[in-house]
Amino acid sequence: MASVACIGECMVELRQAQGGASSAQGQGGGLYSRGFGGDTLNTAVYLARLEVKVDYLTALGDDALSDEMIAAWTAEGVGTRRVARLPGKLPGLYMIQTDAKGERQFFHWRDSAAARQLMDLPETDELLNSLMSYDIVYLSAITLSIYDAAGRARLFAAIKRARLLGTRFVFDTNFRARGWLDRDVAREVFSAAFAAADIVLTSTEDLLALYPGESHDQLMARIPTPELVFRLAEPVSLLRFPGGTSEVRAEPMTKPVVDTTAAGDSFAAAYIAARLSGSDPVEAAQAGHRLASLVICYAGAIIPGYAMPPKKRHRQASSRQATK
């Protein structure tokens, strides 16, 4: 069975509840619900729901909130054997607010989070060597932003070793400017990830923040990877893959957009799951658009289990060759 390693950070999530806005005087505060979230964790959950064997690689504390995270991931079918537990540490925290159109704004408190130490632990070598046992390693630019330069270099070296044995590297350009010292550092790291990746999932939102004013063709030319999914501001993806290019348009929405959180994360999960099942890039992008269009009709990153689309049978492919 094909397997995926998702690397990243899960944080405590505070979401503004309906009717919980602060008063005009700023007194009394708002009402917030507590959950957990993180871009690569969201993708891992959706992969598990799509019946892909997936492990989440991260570091957590030894606190009750970290215990709750482990229990929640296990309940979703996400493997936790690669999670390092650090005594005395805590997970990061973020607050999310959405406007009337469902667009979100994030506020983070994560500077001392346990996940930031993942590349500098006694067990780091063992964890990185385990990447060779997976069919796909998936991470995002947010993942890379939480490590220092030495940590990123250590991770890239491990990914390159794994690729020699057939592991595929999928890089998602989920870009958050506040996570980087400056855009020059981000551009340098992105270039290294592009050069190492087998599949890049990106968007105009991410790339124009780094390369303002460039055309779609110019942005795509920056990415040498053989398989590229470039999501536009409208619900359209431009694909480049060995043997061709294609444009995939999402089906028109029939329900109102409630919350765009995890649209890209769920797209990534459906795309990867379809490619592992033997679908071609066009079919995989169609699957990505379908799931993302469903996810944005619900509040929060993870939709209720009952709302997941019915499972479809894909043609079978050998695990190591499925995404090639």
Inter-residue contact 159 to 131 (CB < 8 Å): yes
In 3D, which of 96, 53, 89 has the Cα closest to residue 69? 89
Q: How far apart are CA 19 and CA 262, in angstroms?
A: 23
Which residues are annotated as catalytic?
265
32 forms bridges with which residues in the sheet? 16
Contact status, residue 262 vs residue 102, Cβ threshold 8 Å: no
Q: Is the alpha carbon torsion for 113, 115, 118, 123 positive or negative?
A: positive
Q: Are 172 and 193 in contact (CB under 8 A)?
A: no
List the helix and strand counts (H, then E) for the chain.
10, 13
- Nearby residues of 145 by Cβ (< 8 Å), 6 or more positions away: 176, 179, 180, 186, 189
Three state DSSP letters for 149-196: HHHHHHHHHHHHHHHHCCCEEEEECCCCHHHCCCHHHHHHHHHHHHHH
Rg (CA), the chain: 19
313: its two tokens: 């049978």
List beta partners, residue 104. Answer: 98
Single-letter code of the amino acid located at 293:
S
